[in-house]
Structure 1
Amino acid sequence: MNDDGRRTTRMRDRAAGAAVMEQVVRLHAQAPPRSTLARALGARPIGEDTAPWFAGALGEREVGAVLDRLPEGWSVFHAIPVGTRPDASGAVSDVDHIVVGPAGVFVVNTKHHRGQRVWVGERAVLVAGQKQPYLRNSDLEASRVRGVLAQAGIAAPVTGVVALVGTKEVTVRQQPRRVLVLRAEQLVRWLTRRPAVLDAATIADVARLFDDPATWRPVDSSADTVERFAVIEREVRTAQLVRAGWMLAVALGAVAVALPVVSVLTR
């Protein structure tokens, strides 16, 4: 416990997507439950305001699983709380992932765009033709982490990275100068091929600093967030299966109606 009664945990124990999952659980709890008919028809169990957070959580977990494949000598931290004030939705800023290893410190911002086309230029990232603030936001997150290191008196290079999840196509016209943009599945290969710039002692110092909850904004440690999110995820998948079943039933019904007509016409 902290002096103010809040529970703490080592930052390396935070689950990937923890902050976003907390937001999903909170919003879902505020929404009215589905009716029996809605469940039977496979109505989506999450509302429009919750859906982006839900997709974001899935994306961060996917990137977390990718980063778990980094070899020994690398440390990964997820859902690091860096903001101080909640936004209009009640969420407070967090850094999706921080990676520490021989090649330096990497602040990874996950963006989940299932089936979308992404274009990357020196000064802009476009998703389905729409400009997104990813470069500015990623650079800001990297600057925050640099500030944490500077305050601790540790010299280590920090690089902002935007990791794209689920994209249909990524066109890189030119990589931005201050932020790297790449597919999530390329992360491990790219990181491990970077030249070593930190010695083992510095890596250990940085990892200890980032692992210490006192380094960051205090958060309540909700032990059941992952479990409650898993329940919501199962509800979403079940609803998808129900809708697919209804679509199949409609298609089979249409075929059943059409077959006699076709039979008559082909006589």
Structure 2
Amino acid sequence: MSEASWPWYRGALGEIAVGRILAGLGPEWLVLHAVPVGSGWSDIDHVLVGPAGVFTINTKNHAGQSIWVAEQTLMVSGNKHRHPYNSAREAARASTLLSTAAGAAVDVTGIVVIVDPRRLTIRDKPSQVIVLSDLQLLSFLQRRQAVLNAEQVQRAAAAAVNARTWHTKPTPPHNADELMRNFAALRCLVDEARRRRLSWVLGVPAVGFSVLAATGPLGAAVLHALMNR
């Protein structure tokens, strides 16, 4: 797998994980995944409509990394990311599109979901979006008080399921089962490749490790790359 495709693959794993969590919501919720929006290839990871409101979810797979949040600042292992800002813009865009389609105001709350973080520290909650880990997501949604009545939920849901609400030139939906089978096959190939690389590393004779160790940081980086990709 190329360097360019690796972030996409990790992102897809995160979205699938969150999709499985959202399957735990009750029948009163409408849950949409990978909603195409605009005129190009952009999409919204997940759109939720239920008595507790309307939400867009921006899923970020930062497995094993430390996350620190203070207002609009989100740091991933010391590196700043624009996840809260982007999620707020996404929610605002969804609100505009849904309100136009529904013929009434539809408020949308943006959520940033961090998948499998080593640690998530919220020093100051962002004012425009909500930041949660994947383990916190389901209970957060289930605890929310109802803010929409049945008619409002139905109106927002009807707008949300209409592809023309989101995209200027919507295409017929793909076969979800086929896509999942194809991705499962890809995941098997990636996992097998990682196992082979790990086996190669563990099979390197002692002199090989000595040579890598002698190269200092470069040797350590090589070992890390081989064992974690």
What's the TM-score, normalizing by structure 2?
0.82
| Percent of aligned pairs sharing the same letter | 41
**Match of 1:221?**
173
Q: 1:58 aligns with which of 5, 9, 13?
A: 13
Code of the aligned partner of 1:77: L
> Tell me, what secondary structure is at the counterpart of 2:124?
coil
**Match of 2:33?**
78
**Match of 2:222?**
none
In structure 2, distance between residues paired with 1:123 and 1:171: 13
Q: 1:181 aligns with which of 131, 147, 161?
A: 131
**Match of 2:189?**
235
Code of the aligned partner of 1:243: R
Q: 2:110 aligns with which of 142, 154, 160?
A: 160
> Contact 2:35 / 2:46 at 8 angstroms: preserved in 1?
yes
Deviations 1:74-120 (A, max 9, x none): 111110111323xxxxxx21100011111100111000011111100
**Match of 1:209?**
159
In structure 2, distance between residues paired with 1:251 and 1:134: 44
Q: Is there any run of 5+ residues in structure 1 with no aligned partner, and where?
A: 1-45, 86-91, 255-267
In the TM superposition, what is the alpha-carbon distance from 1:228 to its structure 2 partner? 2.5
In structure 2, distance between residues paired with 1:248 and 1:176: 45
Code of the aligned partner of 2:92: S
Compare 218-227 and 98-107 and name the one that shifted more.
218-227
In structure 2, distance between residues paired with 1:54 and 1:133: 20
In structure 1, distance between residues paired with 2:108 and 2:42: 19
Normalized per residue, which structure has more strand?
2
> Tell me, what secondary structure is at the counterpart of 1:173?
strand
In the TM superposition, what is the alpha-carbon distance from 1:251 to its structure 2 partner? 7.2
**Match of 1:47?**
2
- Corresponding residue pairs, total: 203
Code of the aligned partner of 2:171: V
What's the TM-score, normalizing by structure 1?
0.71
**Match of 1:115?**
64
In structure 2, distance between residues paired with 1:100 and 1:244: 44
Q: Is there any run of 5+ residues in structure 2 with no aligned partner, and where?
A: 209-229
Q: 1:245 aligns with which of 199, 209, 212?
A: 199
**Match of 1:124?**
73
